[in-house]
Structure 1
């Protein structure tokens, strides 16, 4: 894994993790599905507009269209929709930790369905990451946790794994920004149905809500998703998914800094274990030095 890919992965991890804190602010002041649907509509229109301005085309390949639909439904509608609903009762840090288990799901799916092989060190790194998440979860579950909200987060991370695998079809043929914009419009359309059916559009207008919404539209909505497409195109879905292990650290840190959520010793220990797992996976991808002649 080259340094540019590592820089892209870390940037994605920081932006992606920060979205949990901004989402928490949004759902405490607005109906979650309405807010998320509007966010995707705005982000999607901006993304498509910028793509057209850059000369990109909406004439995608068949695999790209399939990936766009699957990604829009699995990540935007299911994963983020379920997380937004869950974060009405679940802390942002806990939602971020659950999301970080996704790389193991992607690695298993890559092995089971695509025949992708992982070196022993990479496998150990993935399990170390999961162990670190388990340490954090163990400390968190000792308190009062809404199990229904936690279940929604678990279902959501399964959908995220499907979305990540679907990017395989979107990583060839270019037009990345167009794909990002279109898959957000797909998410907006799908989420608008349950929003109208089950929610009342009641909003508590304040500056934290406005700032959190604008940040979510631009950074996690457009910038992080675009980085993700380029990263998967560069190093593949399984390797890129490793950077989701950064989610616990940055998610918990952001929630503690901005929302005052508690950061305990179990969180710190778990983060250290996760970091070791990431390092192991990265080292497993390094080519061995050539043998001297």
Structure 2
């Protein structure tokens, strides 16, 4: 389940790159979230869940829908008009490092030596890749959108802490997707011309990103967290830099340099170190439902 989740999460960048090459990114993403959200809400009702959430759950749902779906994914979809899927995946994969860094800086969550090593290694890996890419003329606007997006994803991830203990996880997933869709529709209609270059690859990529990263990965994440706990499940994030780059290279033919491989290896090592330091700590309360953190 951990391998499947990591593969699904990482493959989303490649399918997104295919979509934005032929369709307006914000409008396409708004439609994706509308469909995914409605399906998730129906599944939640079939599972006996309700939309009567606690105030903390509503706050987390709205904040997560805005920060992850509208800002993180919206900015990434727009950015991938100009930057490669592999670069977007590498930037996004640093989220566990940023969560640990933010916990240290703002929540006084002092990291253990292993976690501190992971933070330094991860940031060094990012610096190595970005230094070479900047010399090669990467689009700065697209890169900036990716960076702002992963910061928004970090805020979204931290906002879910403790907010899902009341259950109704699938309902929360569906509602936060609908929140993201509601925010993205006005932006897409105001800023974009709805011109679509229809193709089989576009349709397949849209169906895939709606059903697999959007829904299936969420279900697998819930099962995984229920089986081994949120902290241990999060260790699988260390595979995301590898898999994100691999999918982009194999399916899109994106060229990679030696510095990319080395940087990805260093980032993955840093993420693994940070997550393993958490596993070594005593887990306070193993939640029945977890968050992607």
Q: TM-score, normalised by structure 1?
A: 0.88
Which residue, 4, 9, 28 being the options, matches 1:16?
A: 9
Q: Is the 8 A contact 1:98 1:154 kept in 2?
A: yes
Specify the alignment match of 1:40 in structure 2. 33
Q: Check 1:166–1:229 CA distance in 2 against 1; reply closer, same or farther (3 A cut).
A: farther
After TM superposition, list the pairs within 5 Å mapping 1:37-116 onto structure 2: 37-116=30-109
Residue 179 of structure 2 is aligned to residue 186 of structure 1: yes
The DSSP-based 3-state class of the residue aligned with 1:19 is helix
Q: In 2, distance between residues paired with 1:230 and 1:62?
A: 25
Unmatched segments (≥5 aa) in structure 1: 1-6, 289-293
Q: Is the 8 A contact 1:48 1:178 kept in 2?
A: yes
The DSSP-based 3-state class of the residue aligned with 1:156 is helix
Q: Is the 8 A contact 2:97 2:274 kept in 1?
A: no
Which residue, 106, 113, 119 being the options, matches 1:120?
A: 113
Cα drift, residue 65 of structure 1 = 0.8
Q: Check 1:228–1:141 CA distance in 2 against 1; reply closer, same or farther (3 A cut).
A: farther
Q: In 2, distance between residues paired with 1:177 and 1:107?
A: 26
Specify the alignment match of 1:4 in structure 2. none
Unmatched segments (≥5 aa) in structure 2: 282-293
After TM superposition, list the pairs within 5 Å mapping 1:154-165 onto structure 2: 154-165=147-158
Q: In 2, distance between residues paired with 1:157 and 1:267?
A: 19
Cα drift, residue 201 of structure 1 = 1.0
Q: Check 1:140–1:228 CA distance in 2 against 1; reply closer, same or farther (3 A cut).
A: farther
Q: In 2, distance between residues paired with 1:200 and 1:65?
A: 33
Q: Is the 8 A contact 2:103 2:109 kept in 1?
A: yes
Q: In 2, distance between residues paired with 1:226 and 1:127?
A: 33
Specify the alignment match of 1:215 in structure 2. 208
Residue 172 of structure 2 is aligned to residue 168 of structure 1: no
The DSSP-based 3-state class of the residue aligned with 1:170 is coil
Q: Check 1:240–1:110 CA distance in 2 against 1; reply closer, same or farther (3 A cut).
A: farther
Instruction: Kindly provide the CA deviation profile for residues 2-57 of structure 1, in whole angstroms up to 9, marking residues without a partner as x.
Output: xxxxx53x433321111111000000000001100000000000000011011111
Q: In 2, distance between residues paired with 1:283 and 1:242?
A: 7
Q: Is the 8 A contact 1:76 1:184 kept in 2?
A: yes
Cα drift, residue 250 of structure 1 = 1.1
Specify the alignment match of 2:230 in structure 1. 235
Which residue, 186, 191, 194 being the options, matches 1:201?
A: 194
Q: In 2, distance between residues paired with 1:66 and 1:152?
A: 25
Q: TM-score, normalised by structure 2?
A: 0.88
Cα drift, residue 282 of structure 1 = 4.3
Mean CA deviation greater in 187-196 or 11-20: 11-20
* Count of equivalent residues: 279
The DSSP-based 3-state class of the residue aligned with 1:18 is helix
Q: In 2, distance between residues paired with 1:214 and 1:53?
A: 22
Residue 254 of structure 2 is aligned to residue 274 of structure 1: no
Specify the alignment match of 2:285 in structure 1. none
Cα drift, residue 62 of structure 1 = 1.2
